A and B are shown apart, each in its own frame.
Chain A
Amino acid sequence: MTRRGVDVALTLLTYVVALVMVAPIAWMALTAFKTEPQAFQIPPLLLWRPTLENFRYAFHVAEFGRFFANTAAIGIGSTLLACLLGIPAAYSLAFYPTRRTRDVLFFVLSTKMLPTVAVIVPLYVLFTRAGLLDTRTGMILLYAMMNLPLVIWMMHSFFLEIPPEIVEAAQVDGAALGAVFFRVTLPLAVPGLMATVLLSIVLAWNEFFVAVSMTYTHAATLAVFIASYKTSEGLFWAKMSAASLLTITPVLLAGWFSQRQLVRGLTMGAIK
């Protein structure tokens, strides 16, 4: 084969591989618009009149809206809290480094590297006694704690990319700490902040182990709701697909939007 031939073949192979990787998701998305009998047809039905019945069912019968509201409140609430605590910390670590800065950064990270299974039991006992079990407040606190290292490390690495001269210039001009932060530093870090916020929401949205251990009926998230399809509910493929599609759509949009920073966030800035 010629050089150009090899090139075209590799490109076609890449397209095929990409399609195979997303095929399961595409299949699920299509099934969401079928009736239950259509979902089970063999060979698979490729042309049909799409129905919205499964989405109506999700909202009116399966109480999808309640789980969605929990997940959104917990995801957004915990991210706000983590940012409120993490951004000032990252700011001072980046612009006022001391001999201890590295120790502090690694101490923060050591909590992220600890498997969740190693802390879940005391948290459960603590939450039972504090009346936080199965509450949105409790879940917001937990996920904020889990995402705090991510926020500190990501924002720290974005702040480091801002030349210190800019901040010094603003200080020389007489700007107070607050003014420097809100008028100079934060605006420069907005793209990084967006990615941090989105990634934090994605991780909280998809989290399952803590959610299934700490919630029952009041604060259960979508991950827990979807897991209920593991039993007989899983026989209703069309309804299951519709609920799944609604569940993953916000995260897909957030993830696609922040994909440039995805790897930096997940490797704590080891890879930019």
Chain B
Amino acid sequence: MTQVPFLLTLYYSFHSWNLMQPLLGIRFVGLANYAQIVLHDPIFRTVVVNTVVLTGSLLVLTILLGLVLALLLTRSFPGRAVVRTLLITPFLIMPTVSAVMWKNMLMNPVYGLLDYVLRSAGLPGPDWLATYPMPSVIAIVAWEWTPFMMLILLAGLQSIPLELLDAARADGAGPLGVFRFVTLPHLGVYFQIAILLGTIYLVQVFGEIFVATSGGPGIATTNLPYYIYLTGFQYWTIGSASAMGVITVVLTMFAAMGFFRILAGAITRVTP
């Protein structure tokens, strides 16, 4: 049932159809939409690069920060449950809320809290979204998604058998040795899950860009979903928007297939 819309997307992608020009109707154009997008649309190329930069930086940043948070949180200390709850909170915030909040109240060059804190420390407080649009968007989304990676890696850390850690320490491994030779290898599959799911979810970042930058300045922060939104729902060129949707699926398919392979292993263990 839910696959039907995608088959229709595929069908539309071979047609020329503009909802604002109903007299032209729907015409079959073969691969013309794809040729136009890939060969003759310089904006599309920038958009793909933006999407790769955004997704890639977010993956690296959220997984590294998530690992640090998970390592801090896997120790036992007073108030751990409360700290855990606080740390997952950014992930629960509605993306449009975090975008209006960061854009206005934190990153405003005159009244923003972030700029105030930086200036108080004698550092410059620039107009973030105008001067560094892409890093600013990355910062906002990383703030939301680090807790997600933290939860995945925390589950990984807590699944390491204590005997294994004790054995490594008994064999004379220091904290760094234990981390390098026991913890990191054990986290392998958890890193894979974090990367694969992260790719699938983070390619789709939309609300933060819609609100904080509208894809700008220029097209500096326009990614695939935002460009598809513009093409489909502002310019009403259904054929091109569909073709770009198909291209997005092809780009994320490998991540999805990798994740399926891991899941297949996970359910084989439980189902008889």
Contacts and interface: CB of A to CB of B under 8 A. Distances in A.
A202 B229 contact: no
A24 B72 contact: no
Contacts of A22: 86, 89-90
A76 interface: no
B133 interface: no
Given A124-B232, A226-B100, A14 B83 contact: yes
Interface in A193-211: 202, 205-206, 208-209
Nearest to B208: A208
B6 interface: yes
A44 B85 CA distance: 26
Contacts of A47: none
Contact of A105 (B106, B206, B267): B267
Interface residues of A, number: 84
A237 interface: yes
Contact of A271 (B92, B105, B193): B193
A30 B123 CA distance: 25
Contacts of B206: 208-209
Contacts of A116: 204, 225
B6 A119 contact: yes
Contacts of A40: 111
Interface in B138-171: 143, 146-148, 151-152, 155-156
A126 B7 CA distance: 13
B267 A272 contact: no
Given A102-B267, A111-B3, A227 B105 contact: no
Interface in B208-226: 210-212, 214, 224-225
B100 A25 contact: no
A121 interface: yes
Given A115-B248, A121-B245, A145-B2, A247 B225 contact: no
Contacts of B85: 256, 259
Interface stretch (A55-63, A175-183, A260-268): A260-268
Interface residues on B, range: 35 or more
B104 interface: yes
A262 B88 contact: yes
A172 interface: no
B86 A21 contact: yes
B100 A213 contact: no
Interface string A8-44: 0011011101110111110110010000000010111
Given A14-B77, A263-B155, A208 B95 contact: yes
A183 to B, nearest CB: 25
A248 interface: yes
Interface string B221-264: 00011001100110000100110111011001000100110111
A15 to B, nearest CB: 7
Interface in A83-98: 97
Nearest to A122: B8
Contacts of B111: 40, 42, 237
A251 B94 contact: yes
A226 B266 contact: no
B207 interface: yes
Contact of A252 (B92, B148, B225, B233): B92
Interface string B103-116: 11110001101001
B46 interface: no
A206 B94 contact: yes
A6 B90 CA distance: 28
B93 A118 contact: no
A241 B93 CA distance: 13
Given A18-B83, A18-B86, A42-B110, 16 more contacts: A7-B75, A10-B77, A21-B86, A21-B147, A24-B102, A24-B105, A106-B260, A117-B225, A117-B228, A160-B271, A213-B232, A230-B211, A237-B104, A247-B97, A248-B94, A251-B94
20 contacts: A10-B77, A14-B77, A15-B79, A18-B83, A21-B87, A21-B147, A28-B101, A102-B264, A115-B203, A121-B241, A126-B5, A149-B2, A223-B94, A226-B100, A227-B207, A227-B210, A248-B93, A259-B84, A271-B190, A271-B193
Interface of A: 7, 10-11, 13-15, 17-19, 21-25, 27-28, 31, 40, 42-44, 97, 101-102, 105-107, 109-111, 113-126, 145, 148-149, 157, 160, 202, 205-206, 208-209, 212-213, 222-224, 226-227, 229-230, 234, 237, 240-241, 244, 247-248, 251-252, 255-256, 259, 262-263, 266-272
